[in-house]
Structure 1
Amino acid sequence: MNSKIKVIAFDADDTLWVNETYFREAEKEFAKLLSAYETENKIDQELFKTEIKNLSIYGYGIKGFVLSMVECALELSNYQLDQKSLEKILNIGKEMLEKPIELLVGIEDVLQSLQGKYKLVVATKGDLLDQERKLEKSNLLKYFHHIEVMSDKKEKDYQKLIRHLDIHPSEFLMIGNSLKSDVLPLLAIGSSAIHVPFHTTWAHENVPKEQESATTYLTVLNIKQVLPYLE
């Protein structure tokens, strides 16, 4: 690993704590709710299309997901959706927002080991209020020098963060579960990245196999395996 590294950034959702699992559970509830109108597979496809269409308006996070569910439900039901079902969709979102924070195994040990040796930051995307709430409930805030909730995680977004931290790209390491968001943009700007896969990945975060195989990056099976490369 690059010995110049001064700052280590951690993704939040599915790197620090469980997140995507709750979206899959919500999608199943949503499909069950609309089962009178379409098959589960068709509902999943249409919801995903609606989410992607709305990303530029709502951004990432639970609130945008709920709005997309409402829109998708109205369209699939030909605008016949009853008020009770609409209320149930809103409650799916509220339940997601109130989920307890389930830290991933080993994350606190890793943060304790690295604190003081590097400047640690969170670099995540999503809804600002929701991410701040999760960080507060996680009891991990004490480990981090800086929290960055980004509207997206493209090269220009990371470059802006690195400028804010007043470091060279080669002094920055990103650790996260998404190749698309946490690894490939960093390698493209001359930073380092470690991929820690989570068992569930949103389809939007998948990258084509040829792009995946054309890039060299470090993958570890769990977060504790980053320590030998950094200590």
Structure 2
Amino acid sequence: MRLTVIGFDADDTLWHNERFFQLTQARFAELMADHAGADHLGERLIEAEKRNIAHYGFGVKGFTLSMIETAIEVSEGRVPASVLAEILAAGREMLSHPIELLPDVRPVIESLSDRYRIMLVTKGDLIDQERKLAQSGLGDLFDAVEIVSDKKPAIYAEVFARHGEGAERGLMAGNSLKSDVIPMIEAGGWGVHVPHELTWALEHAEAPLTHPRFAELPDLSGLPALIERIES
């Protein structure tokens, strides 16, 4: 089958991202050391993030608000205002972190751009995702950019139909099984898992190893050869 659109996730597929969340969470643990141990604090933070995704969405702003909520909860309202101010400052700093591309990203996309429509499909805060794309220097390589509130099969079906010939003739490459791979396969397309060394706990899922439209690569450099095999 001839593919028409190749989709890419952004964070931790094209550039590093999760490392900044983990560094900030470590700082959060230091700030809250008088109120909770790091493990307990991390568990409470994950619970808060799960509750808040529906309200705040994905990204730095929701993460920062979840840290503040967790700080208030674990301290039973005794957390000093100065600590809350430092949490807010840490969140603002995350919104300006530098962009560091992962290996082979630009050459791989360039090698595919003559034969396929290239689309970026990412979720999170609109302003922050636009900033990262602009600073990455990759914006000129994409025929379409979709910044969505969440990644569900219906979303993939809609954007691949709008920018190509449907998910059935599309491929999505990303580091998250839960967001980039499984829902794309459920929409009828190819889902290619490109693991990153750091993955947010809420993005973990079981790989659909037996599905004929699932593939896994150690890095993006193998994507052009994989596509050739799919189309052969």
Could you say which TM-score interval applies, normalised by the shorter chain?
over 0.9
Deviation at 1:185, TM superposition (A): 1.0
Q: Which range is displaced more, 95-104 or 216-225? A: 216-225
Please state how far the C-alpha of 1:159 moved relative to its aligned partner: 1.5
Partner of 1:104: 102
Q: Is the 8 A contact 2:172 2:192 kept in 1?
A: yes
Deviation at 1:213, TM superposition (A): 4.4
Residue 229, structure 1, aligned to residue 226, structure 2 = yes
Unaligned runs of 5+ in 2: none
1:133 to 126, 131, 134: 131
Tell me which of 120, 144, 147 is aligned to 1:146. Answer: 144
Shift of 1:117: 1.2
Runs of 4+ in 1 over 3 A off after TM superposition: 211-216
- Residue 90 (1) aligns with residue 88 (2): yes
Counterpart residue identity of residue 227, structure 2: L
Q: Tell me how far apart the structure 1 counterparts of residues 84 and 166 of structure 2 sit (CA, whole Å).
A: 49
CA apart distance, 1:162: 2.1
Q: Deviations over 1:89-148 (max 9, x none)?
A: 011111111110000011011011111211001001100000000000011000001110
Deviation digits for residues 170-198 of structure 1, max 9, x if unmatched? 21110101111111111112111211000
1:16-165 equivalences under 5 Å are: 16-165=14-163
Q: What displacement does 1:229 show?
A: 2.0
Counterpart check, 1:198 vs 2:196: yes
After TM superposition, the score normalised by the length of structure 2 is 0.94
The alignment partner of 2:122 has SS state of strand
Aligned partners of 2:120 and 2:82: how far apart in 1? 39
Amino acid at match of 2:217: V
SS at match of 1:136: helix
Which residue identity does 2:136 align to in structure 1?
S
**What per-residue deviation string (whole Å, max 9, x for no partner) do you get for residues 63-109 of structure 1?**
11001111111111111111211111011111111110000011011
Identity %: 39
Contact 2:5 2:164 in 1 (8 A): no
When the two structures are aligned, how many residues end up with a matched partner? Answer: 227
Structure 1 portions without partners, runs of 5+ = none
* Contact 1:4/1:170, CA 8 A, preserved across alignment: no
Q: Could you tell me which residue of structure 2 aligns to residue 10 of structure 1?
A: 8
Q: CA deviation at 1:156?
A: 1.2
